[in-house]
Amino acid sequence: MSASCCPHEPDLKSAPAGLKRALIWVIVINATLFVVEMAAGSMAQSQALMADALDFLADSLTYALSFVVLGMSLRVRATAALLKGVSLAGMGLFVFSLTAWRVYTGAAPEATVMSAVGVLALAANLISVLFLLRFREGDSNVRSVWLCSRNDAIGNVAVIVAAGLVWLTGTYWPDLIVAAGMAALFLHSATKIVLQAARELATVRIRSAPSTIAMETSHRR
């Protein structure tokens, strides 16, 4: 059950060491794949690869933020998740705009490079998913990490399929359609993260209300 459904605050101050190790590994994996995939996407003129590379970059930064706030208060963790959700939404809109621009300026990408890098990225993300699988149910901060990794694996499969369709059709439309689909997935996950973070922040406000009232009463006395 997710933290937003629980009546108590998850105790991440005693989070297993495995979670921290897993985050370190996925940060390294995502940062490395950002460099590899962005270079390959530019070389192959693939919008889908470059969109996926941006996702790797965003994930590296959000995983690092998740690592920093582990063990902090629910308010801090939920605020961090809210920031990540808003950032993910911004990235989705950015990818949408780049995709629309490429409709008028792009040529068919290099399918061989797309498929090879897509397989490499999928392998990296499946490893990340395995690292994070047992932590997929948690507060909004931890859950956002799981959603990012899951989205990446789905996106990599889509890139591989798009590469095959580009090769078959000789056009850039499969590449652009996958990039737009990935952007929509970013926005969907961003909405889920933001809503859960907002619920957790509301819970914090409700919990703090009695103590605030008590303090005001004592001051009046």
Q: What is the pLDDT of residue 107?
A: 63
Mean pLDDT of the chain, nearest integer: 75
- The CATH T-level fold of domain 16-220 is Alpha-lytic protease prodomain-like (1.20.1510)
pLDDT, one tens digit per residue, over 65-78 is 777 777 677 778 77
174-181 mean pLDDT: 83
Instruction: Return the higher-pLDDT residue of 52 and 216.
Output: 52
Q: How many CA atoms are closer than 13 Å to the CA of 59, on its beta-carbon side? A: 35
Residue 191 CB burial class (10 angstroms; 0-12, 13-18, ≥19): middle
Burial of 194 (0-12, 13-18, 19+ CB in 10 A): buried
Domain range list for the chain: 16-220
pLDDT category at 36 given cuts 50, 70, 90 is: very high
Q: CA 137 to CA 117: how far, in whole Å?
A: 30
pLDDT at 32: 93
